[in-house]
Amino acid sequence: MGSCIICGTDVGDGGRICDSHQEDVVFDFRGNSPDQLVPDRFYHGVVDGYAEFGVFIDLAPGVTGLLHRSELDRRLDSLDGEPGDDVFIQVKGVRDNGNIDLAWSIRQADREFRGALVQDGESEHLPEGEDDGSADDANDASEVDETDDASEVDDEPETDDAFDTDAGPDDAAETEPSRAATDADAAADEPTAVGNGDTAAGDDEGSAADEDPSSVERNFSAVDDGSESAVESEPDAADDVESTPDDAEIERVAVETLPNAVGDTVRLEGEVVSARQTGGPTVFEVRDESGVVDVAAFVEPGVRAYPEVEVGDAIRIDGEVERRQGDIQVETEALAVLDGAEAETVRRRLAEALTEKARPDGLQPLAGDGAVAELGEGLLDAAEAIRRAVLESRPIVVRHPATADGYVAGAAVERAVLPLIRDEHAKSDAEYHYFTRRPLDDPVYGMDAATNDATRMLQDRDRHDEKLPLLLLAGTGSTTESADGIELLSVYGVEAVVVDAAVADSETRDRVDTLVSPELEPVDNDLSTGTLAASLASAVNAAVRDDLAHLPAVSYWTDTPDRYVDLAREADYDRERIAELREAVALEAYYQSYQDKRELITDLLFDDGGDLAAHVSEQFREKLETEVETATANVVTEAVGGVEFALLDTDEYTHRYDFPPTPLLLDDLHRRHANGNPFATVGIGTDELYVRGSTDLSVGEIAERAAEIAPTADVSTAGLREGKIGFLSGERDAVEDAVVAAVAEQF
């Protein structure tokens, strides 16, 4: 008969682990069939390769499972493992076709498991060279008299050193109490094995085994006076564990100092930012005046620790600082929710630090741009809102059009914010959780985009206890068409910041929390959203100012102001390279338009020596030239009211589902055909058209006038910023004539 290596229970022939400890041991699988794997067990694996939908893990030669990306608590591309790297995973199940479903293990070191076994097909045994000392020790433990004081009984019998590969013979007392994120703490809720099958310490009224493991007051009131109440409520090997020090014996430290305190027991006071339940511990994000850190608390695998603790609570934590997979983390030994004066002290400390750190010292527009300086107060308000969101651990969602100008604006803010997030959070992949760019096909923040954002933020709030985000709309959100979308988010109290070089419509000026937009008079036509966002980014994070110098020049297709040409040249970006960057970004913005392409855009705009941008730019020119030649051959010209019109049927003579997009194509056509005389270009499709003019045209007024001329066509603006008008497809011919007449009236 075999005995459990953890508790010594008889488990039958060929077995070495009882049912209750299956998840406490890691297995080295040496079988040859997926059917031999045991669901819910943890196994050692080797990374075989990455796919878009997950990671393939080899458990043995010829036995490979899939760790689907949905099983990860992070983005797949944030994993830093390479093929051949060792990992620890859990087998969720084996399908009838032999496919193996895997789950990620929060424990990624041998020492974090309570034992190790080799599973050789259907049987299991100790690793070679290991003896059965642990089982013998477990049986010895069963001889402890039930009447012994709880403080004199080990809640879990010591296992042989073979099952704690990193621990030396003298390490047990020092390391075992700090393992809040490992299954070692699960022993707190399991009875100690005794000879007659009863519990050893579980019946003692003052024992740790009976104490509620989620009590938020535990440990802070413990006094080492020899009484039962002084027994550590983390019931690991009671004889070897010191009780929690009195409050005065542990000095509070700041989160920013934790990298220098690995291995030390520290005290933190702060606010709970989020709480997420993993397959192992509960992980709280805790923010103090200097930063944010993950705090792991363990009851048993997958069970919520400290269920009373909620997001926004002020708490005090004692725990050991550890480095897990490169990230700083605190393993909880004691936690208490603060109230009254103590909670107020913590919140005041955080508020004072937040106010001091959030507001930038001032705004210095790039290239000394006077038009940007006139909007300085609004830009400072926007910068403060962004910095405050970082400090409050609120996600930031940036929406911008999928255009060169839009991408420049979004990338500028991204360049400034990501270092702040990395500085604020100890977790290495925090920048993927707290900053998201979501490009828009159209420069309108409509109900489709708003519904998408609302759905995501509510899921993140309910599933991961995340705070509602700050919404930054760059180059969008300031027109009437965006009003409904912004209104939807405002119902939930989402803070919205709009930065737009164009004049905002009156309907949206009062709907957003912070607006950066020129007033009606005067309007500076030299502005682009990219120029505003670049100066905004420099106010958010002055350390990246030099990185942003060339971005304003990239944001202009034509008539780039000399001040920005000179600024780019000083940063070693000549006109040719700026043009390559602009064209490369425009091409990449079109493909996979809903994806942020963060790394690719970073390579193009900041880390490229010129080869990547030149290569992509060449593709841009080839594709655009081919499309322009086709369109030019099919342009129909006519003169109406002294205005020359170039009319193009975009349904018949463009590739609507390939580059370039219709607005970019019409922009280029219009530039090539304009000859200084009154001239307009109209591209008309099934139920929408675009207008370009050699003078400033009011698309809203054109749509209103066309609606009067063709009253049954339901003519309306569909995108003021890109000159887009919508209508009923059955009235297409009437709308074309009405729009041409309305445009002629404006010249």
Rounded to whole angstroms, the Cα distance separating 140 from 249 reads 37
Q: CATH 2.40.50.140 residue ranges in the chain?
A: 2-130
- For 189-208, the pLDDT digits (tens) are 333 333 333 333 333 433 33
CA angle centred on 250, ends 248 and 253, rounded to 5°: 120
Alpha helices in 500-554 (DSSP H): 506-509, 529-540, 551-554
Structure tokens at 608: 């490229």
**Number of alpha carbons in the 13 Å side-chain half-sphere of residue 556:** 19
Answer whether 492's CB lies under 8 Å from 454's CB.
yes
| pLDDT band of 545, cuts 50, 70, 90 | very high
Structure tokens at 236: 């690991």
For the segment 569-586, the average pLDDT, to the nearest whole number, is 95
Q: Is the pLDDT of residue 240 over 70?
A: no
Distances 322 to 178, 179, 264 between C-alpha atoms, Å: 9, 10, 8
> How far does Cα 630 stand from its chain's mean position?
43
Q: CATH 3.10.310 residue ranges in the chain?
A: 634-746
* pLDDT, position 455: 94
Three-state DSSP at 15 gives coil
The CATH number that domain 2-130 falls under is 2.40.50.140
Residues in the chain: 747
User: In the chain, what percentage of residues exceed pLDDT 70?
Assistant: 81
What's the mean pLDDT when you consider all of the chain? 81
Three-state DSSP at 433 gives helix
Question: Considering only CA atoms, which of 708, 707, 696, 689 is closest in space to residue 647?
Answer: 689
Q: CATH 3.90.1640.30 residue ranges in the chain?
A: 364-615
Rounded to whole angstroms, the Cα distance separating 286 from 129 reads 43
Rounded to whole angstroms, the Cα distance separating 624 from 567 reads 29
Q: Is the pLDDT of residue 511 over 90?
A: no
Rounded to whole angstroms, the Cα distance separating 45 from 28 reads 8
CB-based contacts of 220, cutoff 8 Å, min separation 6: 244, 247, 316, 318, 334, 336
Rounded to whole angstroms, the Cα distance separating 6 from 621 reads 68
> How far does Cα 620 stand from its chain's mean position?
31
The helix (H) or strand (E) run that includes residue 26 is: strand 25-29
Rounded to whole angstroms, the Cα distance separating 371 from 672 reads 29
Q: Is the pLDDT of residue 532 over 90?
A: yes
Q: Is the pLDDT of residue 308 over 90?
A: yes
Q: Is the pLDDT of residue 225 over 70?
A: no
Tell which CATH classification among 1.10.405, 1.10.3470, 3.40.50, 3.10.310 matches the domain 634-746: 3.10.310
User: Beta strand 495-499 with 470-474: parallel, antiparallel or unpaired?
Assistant: parallel
Would you give the DSSP letter of residue 425?
B
Max Cα distance, the chain (Å): 108
Tell which CATH classification among 3.40.50.300, 3.90.1640.30, 1.20.1250.20, 3.30.70.890 matches the domain 364-615: 3.90.1640.30
134 or 554, greater pLDDT: 554
- Of 43-47, 268-272, 501-505, 649-653, the range with the lowest mean pLDDT is 501-505
CB-based contacts of 369, cutoff 8 Å, min separation 6: 531, 535, 561, 563
Structure tokens at 705: 């006038």
- For 360-404, the pLDDT digits (tens) are 988 999 999 988 998 999 999 999 999 999 988 899 999 999 999
| pLDDT band of 520, cuts 50, 70, 90 | low
* pLDDT, position 143: 39
- For 445-464, the pLDDT digits (tens) are 999 999 999 999 999 888 77
